[in-house]
Amino acid sequence: MPTRTRAFEVMGERKWSLKELAARADLPASTLYQIRLGRRGCGPVAIRGLLRAFPSLGYRDLFFDDDSVTTEPYSDGARAEQQEVAA
């Protein structure tokens, strides 16, 4: 499963633009845009770049696996994605 990131939340808290994050991470803004939209996960290069952009944060602060999102069947047979709540 692709690794997902909280980097965009932190980017917003710091009032950075996507362009500024790209410069700090030394990654193309288009790559970050695709990650932000969920069209791709974070590979090793993106992970290293985002860790470089946020040196005060560790891997576990910035990244999580898609395993935290599960697909649960509903009683009527429909399926929906549901975010698990960390206790």
Residue-wise pLDDT for 75-86, tens only, equals 444 444 433 444
Write the CB contacts of 83 (distance below 8 Å, at least 6 apart in sequence): 68, 69
Distance CA 28, CA 35 (A): 11
Answer whether residue 22 shows pLDDT above 70. Answer: yes
pTM: 0.72
Domain residue spans of the chain? 3-83
Q: Which two tokens stand for residue 10?
A: 């932190």
Q: What is the pLDDT of residue 85?
A: 40
Return the CATH class of domain 3-83: mainly alpha
